[in-house]
Amino acid sequence: MRDLSVVMEVVAVLLPVLVALVVVALVVTVAVTRRPVLLASAASWTLFGLVAVFLPWVPHSTGHPAQGVTVAEANVLTTNPTKPEAVADILRVDADVVVVPEATPEVHARMSAAYPYAYRQPGAPSALGVYSRLPMTERPDATPIFDPARYHRLEVGGPTPFVLWALHLPRPWFVPEGSFQLRPGGHARILSAFITAIDQETEPVVVAGDLNLTDRGRGYRKITAHLDDAMRSIRGVRTEIKPSFRPLLLNIDHILEPPSWCADEARRFGIRGSDHRGITARIGPCPPR
C-alpha cells in the first residue's frame, strides 16, 4: 500500500500511533459489544504494526570493508543551547567525513577548526555543513536541485575516491513551510530529482544526512533500491528523539553506500542539546573474494 500514493509517506510517519489507536478502538469495541471475534482483528493489527515498524530494524551484516572511511552524520539542531558541547560530542567520534545538518555559524567555525576541508552555504543562519580530513572539492550544480543550504555534492579523495551527496531533505507533511517542510507530492519530486542525479554519477556514491525518510516509508524504499543502508549492520532504533515525536519511532538519519560496498563499526551516539542521535559507520569496497 505504501507504494500506491505519495500520501503514504505521511501515513508511514504516523504508523505506530495509527496502529495503536486502531488496536485500542478494537479492544474497547470488544469490551462494549462483547464480540470477541474482534480480538482477532486487534491481534492482526498489532502484528502488522510490529512487522512494519521493527522489521527494517533487524540487522544484516554486509561484511568488513577492505579500505574503510569513517562517515558520521549529526544534526546538532539550530536552537541547540549547548553548541560547544554538541560539537565536542561529534569530534569525539573522530570520523574522516562528517555531515552536520542545521550547522549554525558557531558550529561551522568550531568544526572548521578541527577539519581541513569544510563546506557550508555562506550567509545562512542555519545550513548543512560537511567536514573532512580527506581531500574534498565541490562543483556547484548548473541547475540547483533544491535549497543550496540543504545539500552538497562533494568529490572526496582517499583510499577509494567517492562522490558524497550530503542531504537535509524536507519533512513530508500536509502543509508546506519553506524548504523545511513540503507536501507529499513536492517531497516525492525532490527525492526523485536527487535519485536521478545520483544515478548519473560514474564514481561510487555515498549519501549521508538527515533525510527525513522513515525506514518504513515509500521514499526510503525508493532510495535504498539504488544504495544500501550502512546502519543496517546493527539493530535499528529511532534517531529522532524529540519528546513529542518519540511515539512515532522515527529512524530518519541515514548513511547510504554503494551496493558493492561493505560497512562495519556502525553505532549511534548522543549529541548534547540536539533532538537527534548521531550515527557513524566505516564504509568502503568489500574485500575481493
Asked whether the predicted pLDDT for residue 142 surpasses 80, the reply is: no
pLDDT digits (tens, 9 = 90+) for 32-75: 888 888 889 999 999 999 999 999 999 988 889 988 999 999 99
Structural domain 69-285, CATH architecture: 4-Layer Sandwich (3.60)
What would the mean pLDDT of 176-189 be, rounded to a whole number?
Answer: 90
Three-state SS string over 27-73 comes to: HHHHHHHCCCCHHHHHHHHHHHHHHHHHHHHCCCCCCCCCCCEEEEE
Asked whether the predicted pLDDT for residue 216 surpasses 80, the reply is: yes
Report the C-alpha gap between 176 and 174 in whole angstroms. 7
Report the C-alpha gap between 63 and 263 in whole angstroms. 6
pLDDT band at 141 (very low <50, low <70, confident <90, very high): low
What would the mean pLDDT of 102-107 be, rounded to a whole number?
Answer: 96
Asked whether the predicted pLDDT for residue 8 surpasses 70, the reply is: yes
Query: So what's the pLDDT on residue 89?
Result: 98
| Cell numbers given for 202 | 560514474
* Four-residue CA torsion sign, 281, 126, 80, 132: positive
Query: So what's the pLDDT on residue 3?
Result: 80
In terms of Cβ atoms closer than 10 Å to its own Cβ (0-12, 13-18, 19+), residue 129 is buried
Nearest to 15 by CA among 158, 215, 168, 265: 215
- Higher model confidence: residue 16 or residue 176? 16
Asked whether the predicted pLDDT for residue 183 surpasses 70, the reply is: yes
What would the mean pLDDT of 152-172 be, rounded to a whole number?
Answer: 94
Q: Minimum mean pLDDT among 26-30, 94-98, 151-155, 282-286: which range? A: 26-30
Q: If you average pLDDT over every residue of the chain, what do you get?
A: 94
Asked whether the predicted pLDDT for residue 140 surpasses 80, the reply is: no
Query: So what's the pLDDT on residue 86?
Result: 98
Query: So what's the pLDDT on residue 91?
Result: 98
What would the mean pLDDT of 248-261 be, rounded to a whole number?
Answer: 96
Q: Please, are residues 278 and 246 in contact by the beta-carbon 8 Å criterion?
A: no
Query: So what's the pLDDT on residue 236?
Result: 93
Report the C-alpha gap between 233 and 173 in whole angstroms. 30
Asked whether the predicted pLDDT for residue 215 surpasses 90, the reply is: yes
pLDDT digits (tens, 9 = 90+) for 202-212: 999 999 999 99
* Domain limits, the chain: 8-57, 69-285
pLDDT digits (tens, 9 = 90+) for 222-245: 999 999 999 999 999 999 999 999
